[in-house]
């Protein structure tokens, strides 16, 4: 299993790095889930790529392994990861839930509302927020 | 040469060797750490602004620490030269006692320097950001190095066990019961020490962060393997010597042969450790790791962080490693060592009483 994990992960982009801020208001499991999701959408992680075992990633980040497990479960619920007991987690081959899914759209709207409210309280103008959002979307869609 | 003549040569050789080692302690044991007592973020284990180490006050604190260490080494060498009686085992005990004293002194001086740094330079704000790579550590490619790493991980634990089995098979050859008891207790102590060293290498290999000591996972694994090799081979030298001594007593092999083998091996281990140490200093990346808060470091040297799954982390200076005292490993090691030491006292007291009665 370790060998499979090693060979599979070596094929990933070298920049597949996670960065979490333990002092942030955003829970660590959400930071991890958000970054892994972004890596999948950007194509840095491809279908079939294995992710590090929960305990290994917890060790590297210096946090409890349940936090990593929660992040993996969140991504599994979204259809982005497959978790096979005894074989770890890998990026799912199927496409994630359709954007037209009303529940997913409602979740997105809710999280966006919270995020926009937070950055507004920190003084960012509406124009700047729209600009940043567009830059992020363009970045995810690629050249 | 007769065994008595060999003993005299060894006695004086050891005495001069040990006195020279005491004088060179700061150079041999602390110099590389002195040089690396600060990495970019810390000085004497306190997170400070990056330019503090090169400031006048930073250099002053460092020089004061180094002067204290050298003076203590000179004082201890003088005490050893004047006070230690002859005889390899007696002067060996003295040497061991003084080594413990030196480590204690260094701990005190380090704590004093740390206190001064905290008052004058820090602490600087701590970073709450942690990073991890999703790329797996590359397994060690060189088969020789891989084999050496596993051998050095297993042998410290296995050698005393094998020696113990040989002793158990032929215990009637021993001259007296107290000697046999003492040898068995000594082997148990060596076994406990070997087990701790094997466990430490296992922790370095499988329960340490892949961003510690070097930012790149492959470089970190290389550093950890080399560090384990260095610590393991040094301990293996001591353990093998103890086991050879036990077996030569059992099979009546002459001391000449014993020393002809063990001294070159010991010398080789010292040279190997020095070379590995220089290599480790070069491999160390000052920008790596050290994401844990100052409050996780207790009494200058001891790492305690219950929210950190790592069993072993780099020391604050980055050189060598420190055990996470919130995990079971250090306490098992301390418990084993203390139990084995206590088990030694009874047989040792009997031998001393027997020797006195003979005189």
| DSSP state at residue A124 | -
Interface contact flag, A20 B130, Cβ < 8 Å = yes
User: Taking chain B, what is the end-to-end CA distance rounded to the nearest angstrom?
Assistant: 27
- Of B159 and A85, the structure prediction assigns the larger pLDDT to B159
The H or E element that residue A83 is part of is strand A81-84
Instruction: Please name which of B223, B217, B211 lies closest in space to residue B288, comparing C-alpha atoms.
Output: B211
- CA-nearest residue to A10 within chain B is B135
Backbone angles phi, psi at B40, to 5 degrees: -55, -30
Residue B198: is its pLDDT beyond 90?
yes
Contact A19 B291 (CB under 8 A): no
**What distance in Å separates residue B329's CA from the closest CA in chain A?**
16
**How far is residue A81's CA from residue B152's CA, in Å, rounded to a whole number?**
40
pLDDT tens, position by position, B19-64: 888 888 887 766 555 555 556 567 888 888 878 878 889 889 988 9
Percent of chain B whose pLDDT exceeds 90: 21
pLDDT tens digits, one per residue of B311-329: 999 888 777 899 999 999 9
Average pLDDT over chain B reads 83
Closest chain B CA to residue A13: B135
CA angle B199, B203, B209 (to 5 degrees): 170
A23 and B130 within 8 Å at the Cβ level: the answer is no
d(CA B313, CA B97): 28
Determine, for residues B136 and A5 on separate chains, whether the beta-carbon distance falls below 8 Å: yes
Answer whether A62 sits within 8 Å of B308, measured CB to CB.
Answer: yes
Instruction: Determine contact: B133 vs chain A, CB below 8 A.
Output: yes
Residue with tokens 């050698």: B159
Q: What is the pLDDT of residues A22-66, one digit of tens each?
A: 888 899 999 999 999 989 888 888 888 889 999 999 999 989 999
Cα distances (Å, whole numbers) of residue B318 to A135, B36, B41, B322: 40, 7, 10, 10
Indicate yes or no: CB of A19 within 8 angstroms of CB of B138.
no
State yes or no: pLDDT of A99 exceeds 60: no
Q: Tell me if the bond preceding B123 is cis, omega within 30° of 0.
A: yes
Instruction: Please state at what angle helix B255-283 crosses helix B217-251, rounded to 10 degrees.
Output: 170
Average pLDDT rounded to a whole number, residues B204-231: 88
Comparing alpha-carbon positions, the chain B residue that sits nearest to A5 is: B136
Distance between CA atoms of residues A118 and A108, nearest Å:
15
What is the phi/psi pair of residue B303, to 5°?
-90, 130
Q: Give the CA distances from residue B324 to residues A139, B128, B228, B267, in Å, rounded to whole numbers and listed in that order.
A: 41, 19, 17, 32
Read off the tokens for B333: 């090691």
In A, which residues are within 8 Å of B307 by CB distance? 62-64
How close, in Å, is residue A126 to chain B by CA atoms? Answer: 28
Both tokens of B297, joined, read: 């470091």
CA closest to B136 among chain A residues: A6
B263 vs A75 pLDDT, higher one: A75
For B254, the token pair is: 């002459």
Question: Distance (Å, rounded) from C-alpha A46 to C-alpha A93?
Answer: 8
Residue A139, Ramachandran bin (φ over 0: left; ψ between -120 and 50: alpha; else beta): alpha
The alpha-carbon gap from A17 to the nearest alpha carbon of chain B, in Å, equals: 4
Q: What radius of gyration, in Å, describes the C-alpha atoms of chain A? A: 16
Size of interface A-B (CB pairs under 8 A): 79
Cβ-defined contact of B309 to A10 (cutoff 8 Å): no
Lowest mean pLDDT among A23-37, B146-160, B269-283, B335-349: B269-283
The pLDDT value given to residue A13: 43
pLDDT of amino acid A6: 40
CATH class given for the domain over A4-91: mainly alpha
Asked if residue A42 lies in contact with residue A140, where contact means CB atoms within 8 angstroms, the answer is yes
Q: Distances in Å between the alpha carbon of B93 and those of B87, B88, B97, B183?
A: 10, 9, 6, 17
CA distance A125 to A36: 28
- pLDDT average, residue stretch B261-269: 79
Asked whether the beta carbons of residue B132 and residue A18 sit closer than 8 angstroms, the reply is yes
pLDDT of residue A28: 94
How large is the average pLDDT for residues B88-102? 81
Percentage with pLDDT > 70 across chain A: 81
ipTM of the complex as predicted: 0.73
Task: Give the Cα separation of B31 and B134 in Å (integer).
Answer: 36
CA-based angle A89:A35:A46, to the nearest 5?
50
- Indicate left, alpha or beta for B45 from its phi (over 0: left) and psi (-120 to 50: alpha): left
pLDDT at B111 over 70: yes
Any A CB within 8 A of B126 CB:
no
| Minimal Cβ distance to B136: which of A10, A23, A58 | A10
Q: What is the pLDDT of residue A70?
A: 95
DSSP 8-state symbol, B294: G
**What gap in Å lies between CA B295 and CA B316, rounded to an integer?**
12
**pLDDT of B171 higher than 80:** no
User: With 90 as the cut, is the pLDDT of residue B299 above it?
Assistant: no
Q: Which helix (H) or strand (E) segment is B321 a member of? A: strand B321-323
The crossing angle, in degrees rounded to 10, of helices B143-169 and B177-206 is 160
More confident residue, B189 or A101: B189
Beta strands in chain B (DSSP E): 38-39, 42-43, 46-47, 129-133, 297-298, 302-303, 312-314, 321-323
Going by C-alpha positions, the residue among B137, B319, B295 that lies closest to residue B217 is B137
| Predicted pLDDT at B140 | 66
**Which chain A residues are within 8 Å of B132, Cβ to Cβ?**
17-18, 52, 57, 60-61
């Amino acid at each position: 299993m370790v060998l499979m994990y090693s060979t599979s992960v070596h094929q990933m982009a070298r920049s597949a790095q996670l960065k979490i801020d333990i002092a942030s208001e955003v829970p660590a499991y959400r930071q991890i889930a958000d970054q892994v999701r972004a890596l999948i959408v950007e194509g840095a992680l491809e279908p079939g790529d294995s992710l590090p075992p929960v305990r290994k990633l917890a060790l590297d980040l210096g946090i409890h392994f349940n936090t990593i497990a929660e992040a993996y479960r969140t991504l599994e619920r979204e259809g982005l990861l497959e978790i096979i007991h005894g074989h770890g987690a890998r990026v799912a081959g199927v496409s994630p839930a359709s954007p037209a899914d009303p529940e997913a759209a409602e979740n997105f709207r809710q999280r966006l509302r919270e995020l926009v409210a937070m950055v507004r309280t920190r003084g960012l103008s509406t124009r700047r927020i729209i600009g940043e959002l567009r830059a992020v979307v363009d970045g995810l869609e690629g050249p | 040469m007769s065994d008595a003549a060999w003993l005299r040569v060894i006695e004086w050789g050891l005495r001069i060797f040990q006195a020279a080692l005491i004088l060179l302690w700061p150079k041999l044991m602390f110099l590389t750490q002195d040089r690396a007592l600060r990495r970019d973020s810390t000085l004497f284990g306190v997170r400070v602004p990056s330019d503090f180490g090169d400031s006048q006050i930073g250099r002053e604190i460092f020089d004061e620490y180094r002067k204290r260490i050298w003076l203590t080494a000179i004082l201890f060498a003088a005490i050893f030269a004047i006070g230690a009686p002859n005889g390899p085992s007696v002067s060996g005990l003295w040497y061991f006692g003084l080594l413990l004293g030196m480590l204690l002194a260094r701990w005190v001086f380090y704590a004093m320097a740390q206190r001064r740094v905290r008052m004058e330079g820090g602490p600087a704000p701590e970073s709450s950001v942690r990073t991890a790579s999703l790329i797996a550590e590359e397994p060690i490619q060189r088969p020789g190095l891989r084999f050496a790493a596993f051998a050095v991980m297993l042998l410290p634990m296995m050698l005393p066990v094998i020696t113990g089995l040989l002793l158990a098979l032929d215990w009637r050859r021993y001259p007296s019961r107290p000697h046999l008891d003492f040898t068995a207790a000594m082997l148990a102590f060596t076994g406990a020490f070997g087990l701790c060293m094997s466990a430490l290498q296992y922790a370095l290999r499988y329960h340490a962060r892949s961003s510690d000591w070097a930012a790149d996972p492959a470089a970190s694994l290389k550093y950890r393997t080399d560090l384990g090799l260095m610590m393991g081979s040094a301990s293996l030298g001591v353990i093998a010597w103890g086991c050879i001594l036990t077996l030569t007593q059992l099979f009546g092999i002459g001391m000449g042969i014993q020393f002809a083998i063990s001294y070159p091996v010991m010398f080789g281990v010292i040279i190997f450790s020095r070379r590995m140490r220089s290599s480790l200093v070069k491999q160390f990346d000052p920008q790596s790791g050290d994401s844990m808060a100052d409050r996780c470091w207790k009494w200058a040297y001891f790492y305690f962080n219950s929210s950190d799954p790592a069993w072993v982390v780099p020391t604050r200076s980055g050189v060598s490693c420190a055990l996470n005292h919130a995990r079971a490993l250090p306490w098992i090691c301390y418990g084993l060592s203390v139990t084995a030491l206590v088990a030694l006292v009874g047989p040792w007291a009997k031998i001393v009483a027997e020797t006195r009665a003979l005189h």
